[in-house]
Amino acid sequence: MRGIVFLCLLGCSLAQNMTYSWNGPGASSKTDSNTDNACLTDTATCGCCLMQKQMWRLETFFNMSLTELQKGLERAQGVLNNIRSSRSAFSVALTDVRRCLGPFREDVVVKYQSVFINLGDGYNINTGVFTAPRSGVYALALTVYSDAGAPGASLAACGRVRRNGRVIAALSENNTQDQEDSATVVLAVQLQAGDKVDVILPVPCYLCDDNSHYNTFSGFLLYATD
């Protein structure tokens, strides 16, 4: 009997000297006094407080994850915009109806009026000028065609490709051996953003076209360098 009483007294003494923490065994006993008071007076309120803490942790984690997703979306949107801005291609023909252009008394810029594609709106049909939207290596192609009208008549199909007003390539068919003939040039050029490319029709030459589109001017960005 005395042994039982001794054990009870020992248990009470140890219980008075022990401290507990809501943060777990061995953790600091410093806790939110409001939560501690609620837990001491109302078990239901204590459970609600603990649930609010857990919800706050979940909300914080969710917000951090959402922020990272938004950053990833912004990066992806930036890459997509860069790809879209890099898309530049045009292909145009002289006309859709039977018509001859030239000869003129001076060199003139050829204004191609039939547009197959003008991705990026770099080509201006009103001026006949292609403006490079960004720096890079571009592929350009020009085909000229003419019809002398009768065997033995003078044929003069020619054109010159210019960059910022300076000729970078020229082609010509000038003879009396063929009633009709054509010539083509294809080249890769380095262009800076804002550079202007056009086609010049020299004085003695003329071009003839119809809805078959024998005279074409095309170009596209191979890869950007900025």
Euclidean distance between CA atoms 202 and 106, whole angstroms: 7
Q: Residue 116 corresponds to which tokens in the numbers above? A: 């197959």
The full length of the chain comes to 226
- Condensed to tens digits (0 to 9), the pLDDT of residues 147-173 reads 876 776 677 789 999 999 999 999 987
> In this predicted structure, what is the pLDDT of residue 17?
45
Euclidean distance between CA atoms 207 and 155, whole angstroms: 10
Q: Which fold has domain 88-224?
A: Jelly Rolls (2.60.120)
Q: Residue 212 corresponds to which tokens in the numbers above? A: 């078959």
> In this predicted structure, what is the pLDDT of residue 155?
73
Q: Which residues of the chain have pLDDT under 50?
A: 1-25, 27-31, 35
Q: Which residue has the tokens 């007076």?
A: 41
* Structural domain spans, the chain: 32-86, 88-224
> In this predicted structure, what is the pLDDT of residue 11?
43
